[in-house]
């Protein structure tokens, strides 16, 4: 007995059977980008690879190029290996103390930093206060701004003879040079920040009937904080530049006088080491002020 095989009527009519829907993907499958090796590292390793390794590699390459360029006999400048040979004690022992002038670069940097803190601190207070006055008053802006624009173009060391004649001492003269050098960016940035306070904030202060001191602490400073700290970062850099130049002329035990004394003694290796100290300290000062600015900005935003 023959068995008849049944066929799909749609197949007999020449139509294709509808395609089956694709099977659902397994839940454990992941088609996104594979996690990078950096994301699998601990936070310390990520910080080292991201922030420490690139400048370290750059520094090593620069030292190699420097060694190749200045390592040949008769070179005018010392090579890194020669600097290490000549000034190893200054690098390894920055805080030795064998007398008034025979001290390590660490102590000299601290002496210079003390002068910078005095001059920069005075400049920060005066710059914020006067900048607030100029930003708030159109009359003060028209009267003081042209004078300040003229004074800020005077080179820092041009003030040194005036300071020596007025104070008759090298220490306050150096502090005055730092003050007069660093006050201008603080003053100008503060006045710009005060002028850019939104009018809505002023209206709220008027509704709440805040007095001048409350308006200054609760409205002005939080609103102008990014501008103020931008001026402070510029000012601290100029302060560090000014003290090194001033100490070359006024003497003492600071890092600037050490460079001048090393030049007179033809100790080029010591000068290079001192320049490295100056650069590292300047970098640290900039990062400290920048970090404080970020903290203040974050706290004012949260409030």
CATH number for the domain that contains residue 221: 1.10.3720.10
Residues 181, 160: Cα–Cα separation, whole Å: 11
Q: What is the arithmetic mean of pLDDT over 42-70?
A: 87
| Residue 137, both tokens | 């008053």
Residues 172, 180: Cα–Cα separation, whole Å: 12
Model confidence at 17: pLDDT above 60 = no
Residues 164, 154: Cα–Cα separation, whole Å: 17
100-155 pLDDT, tens per residue? 777 889 999 999 999 999 999 999 999 999 998 898 888 988 999 899 999 999 99
151-178 pLDDT, tens per residue? 999 998 899 999 999 999 888 999 999 9
Residues 238, 236: Cα–Cα separation, whole Å: 5
Residues 142, 149: Cα–Cα separation, whole Å: 12
Q: How many structural domains does the chain have? A: 1
pLDDT band for 4, please (50, 70, 90 cuts): very low
212-229 pLDDT, tens per residue? 788 888 888 888 899 999
Cβ density class 22-32: b for 16+ within 10 Å, e for less: eeeeeeeeeee
Model confidence at 211: pLDDT above 90 = no
Residues 154, 170: Cα–Cα separation, whole Å: 20
Mean pLDDT score across all residues of the chain? 84
pLDDT band for 274, please (50, 70, 90 cuts): very high
| Domain with 230 in it | 88-302
pTM: 0.78
31 lies in some domain: no
| 73: helix, strand or coil | coil
| Residue 208, both tokens | 């709440």
Model confidence at 3: pLDDT above 80 = no
pLDDT score recorded for residue 269 = 94
Model confidence at 9: pLDDT above 70 = no
71 lies in some domain: no
Model confidence at 47: pLDDT above 80 = no
38 lies in some domain: no
127 lies in some domain: yes
42 lies in some domain: no
CA atoms within 13 A on the CB side of 285: 24
pLDDT score recorded for residue 27 = 47
Measured in residues, the chain has a length of 303
pLDDT score recorded for residue 301 = 62
216 lies in some domain: yes
130 lies in some domain: yes
Share of the chain above pLDDT 90, in %: 48
217 lies in some domain: yes
pLDDT score recorded for residue 128 = 92
Model confidence at 32: pLDDT above 90 = no
């Amino acid at each position: 007995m023959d068995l008849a095989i049944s066929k799909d009527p749609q197949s007999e009519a020449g139509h294709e059977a509808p395609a089956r829907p694709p099977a659902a993907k397994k839940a454990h499958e992941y088609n996104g980008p594979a996690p990078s090796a950096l994301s699998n590292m601990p936070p310390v390793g990520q910080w080292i690879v991201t922030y420490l390794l690139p400048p370290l590699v750059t520094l090593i390459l620069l030292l190699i190029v420097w060694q190749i360029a200045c390592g040949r006999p008769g070179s005018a400048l010392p090579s890194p290996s020669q600097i290490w040979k000549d000034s190893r004690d200054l690098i390894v022992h920055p805080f030795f103390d064998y007398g008034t002038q025979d001290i390590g670069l660490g102590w000299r940097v601290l002496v210079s930093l003390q002068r910078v803190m005095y001059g920069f601190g005075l400049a920060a207070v005066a710059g914020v206060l006067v900048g607030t006055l100029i930003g708030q008053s159109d009359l003060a802006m028209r009267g003081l701004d042209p004078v300040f624009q003229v004074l800020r173009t005077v080179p820092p060391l041009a003030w040194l003879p005036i300071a020596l004649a007025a104070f008759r001492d090298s220490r306050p003269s150096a502090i005055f040079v730092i003050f007069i050098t660093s006050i201008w960016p603080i003053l100008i940035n503060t006045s710009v920040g005060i002028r850019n306070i939104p009018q809505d904030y002023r209206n709220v202060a008027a509704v709440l009937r805040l007095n001048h001191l409350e308006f200054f602490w609760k409205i002005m400073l939080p609103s102008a904080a990014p501008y103020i700290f931008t001026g402070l970062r510029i000012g601290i850099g100029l302060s560090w530049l000014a003290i090194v130049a001033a100490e070359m002329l006024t003497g003492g035990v600071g890092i600037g006088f050490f460079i001048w004394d090393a030049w007179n003694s033809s100790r080029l290796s010591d000068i290079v080491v001192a320049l490295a100290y100056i650069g590292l300290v300047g970098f640290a000062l900039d990062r400290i002020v920048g970090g404080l600015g970020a903290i203040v900005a974050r706290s004012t935003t949260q409030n």
